[in-house]
Amino acid sequence: EVQLVESGGGTVQPGGSLRLSCTASGFTFNKYWMAWFRQAPGKGLEWVANLRGDGSVMHFVDSMKGRISISRDNAKNSLYLQMDSLRDEDTAVYFCARDTNFYDGSAFYDVFDMWGQGTMVIVSS
Amino acid sequence: ATQMTQSPSFLSASVGDRVTIICRASQDIRNDLGWYQQRPGEAPKLLIYATSTLQSGVPSRFSGSGSGTDFTLTISSLQPEDFATYYCLQDSTYPRTFGQGTKVAVK
């Protein structure tokens, strides 16, 4: 079955750290860009970071730069998000998603066609 | 960062209605835009990418159009399963940015 499963969420104090994992199955993981998104309670979606299939290229949202890192272990079909110096405003459900880059002959487009169910991160004292 | 302004934030409609949601970018993003549907408690679902390309398995009542800074998602005849929140997402520049979302509710 083709799926993504996140884990690693929980409750952490402000200033603390957490490492989220996303385990993929049913597709050739190393061929795909992967991304993390988040959604604060009752709020909209926010793109957090992405990482190329070979792990060589990554991008981050400005609000979390310097506090997060993204990595992957293609042998384990896993994507990770290391979050440090966590703040109250980082409280959210974190989703991972597969990006099936679409190329129309002139440009690439993000195609987030598969999502995990999400893992909840609560930052609270 | 490219700002995405989505409107309306909320709309109420009936089954069978034609629904239009607008997304406006703060700068030219060519046709680098996707639309996602999210039901409560669920992960987002891709509807459309590259402004107007329907994702496999998505009903043809969904369509997208636009280019540059102005984009539209249209549901031609609203179905019961379409009551949800819809988001646009630009993939022209980093960081990727979403619109604020449009909640489509039962009138």
Q: How far apart are CA A36 and CA A116, in angstroms?
A: 10
Per-residue pLDDT tens for B5-22? 999 999 999 999 999 999
Q: What is the mean pLDDT of residues B63-86?
A: 98
pLDDT confidence bin for A16, thresholds 50/70/90: very high
Q: How far apart are CA A93 and CA A121, in angstroms?
A: 6
The reply to whether A104 touches chain B by the CB within 8 Å rule is yes
Q: What is the mean pLDDT of residues A110-123?
A: 97
Inter-chain residue contact B100 with A47, CB threshold 8 Å = no
What pLDDT is attached to residue A28?
98
CA atoms within 13 A on the CB side of B103: 9
Q: What is the mean pLDDT of residues A56-74?
A: 97
- Quote the minimal CA–CA distance from A37 to chain B in Å: 10
What pLDDT is attached to residue A73?
98
Q: What is the mean pLDDT of residues A45-65?
A: 97
Inter-chain residue contact B89 with A62, CB threshold 8 Å = no
Q: What angle do CA B95, A32, A7 make, to 5 degrees?
A: 80
Nearest residue on chain A to B57, judged by CA atoms? A113
| Residue A19 burial (CB count, 10 A) | 13
How big, in percent rounded to 5, are the helix, strand and coil portions of chain B? 5, 50, 50
Sheet containing B62-67: order of strands: B4-7, B19-25, B70-75, B62-67
pLDDT confidence bin for A90, thresholds 50/70/90: very high
Q: What is the mean pLDDT of residues A44-69?
A: 97
Would you say B35 and B48 are in contact if contact means Cβ atoms under 8 Å apart? yes
pLDDT confidence bin for B90, thresholds 50/70/90: very high
The reply to whether B98 touches chain A by the CB within 8 Å rule is yes
CA atoms within 13 A on the CB side of A20: 32
Inter-chain residue contact B49 with A111, CB threshold 8 Å = yes
Percent of chain A with pLDDT over 70: 100
The reply to whether A27 touches chain B by the CB within 8 Å rule is no
